[in-house]
Copies of this chain bind each other. A is one copy, B any other.
């Protein structure tokens, strides 16, 4: 069974987080949500804190991010969601930057959506095709081949634009981890309006 590590912080866009987590679980992917504190230098807490989403939905993460426990050999995918303040915390976190590089150098997938794509910049990834929320385009377009496609797959790096592209983003991750048939099987009972996303 594939496994995914999905990051979350205060200010994470709760629709992007929840759509990724839920859709991957529907595909049979083992999901772990890991909370990243604003001040990563603080002592490692052991009990998860509630993450307050960008629009006030409070989510209890499965665990805290632990650089010792959350290593690429245990996962097939790392997801960095958006939300302005949450993406700022995640992309400025040096453990997260390290994790992004480690996942990619181990041949594992990394998904970034919305302002979460800032982590591609802060992790120092090489110039390649990428997309993001338009609000952070100006920070990314010099370092990357900026695209306005809903989902951009560049090797193992998968990027997307916002809540409105979160379903195609999550379904693309399902397809990459579990195949086209599983994507169709997961999408069918979600009942997308005809002509969208499937």
Sample of 9 A–B contacts (CB below 8 Å): A18-B53, A18-B57, A19-B19, A22-B163, A59-B59, A134-B189, A134-B191, A150-B191, A164-B197
Answer whether residue A10 sits at the interface, using C-beta atoms and an 8 A cutoff. no
Report the bound CA distance from A134 to B164 in whole Å: 24
CB distance from A182 to the nearest CB of B (A): 15
Q: Is the CB of B191 within 8 A of A163?
A: yes
Residues on B with beta carbons closer than 8 Å to the beta carbon of A26: 55
Q: Is the CB of B191 within 8 A of A161?
A: yes
Q: Is the CB of A21 within 8 A of B164?
A: no
Residues on B with beta carbons closer than 8 Å to the beta carbon of A118: none
> What is the count of identical protomers in the complex?
2
Q: Is the CB of B21 within 8 A of A18?
A: no
A146-167, CB under 8 A of B: which get 1 and which 0? 0000100000000001111101
Please list the residues of chain A having a beta carbon within 8 angstroms of any beta carbon in chain B.
13-15, 17-19, 21-23, 25-26, 31, 33, 50, 53-60, 133-135, 150, 161-165, 167-168, 187, 189-193, 195-197
Residues on B with beta carbons closer than 8 Å to the beta carbon of A21: 14, 55-57
Given A21-B55, A60-B60, answer yes or no on A189-B165 (Cβ-Cβ < 8 Å).
no
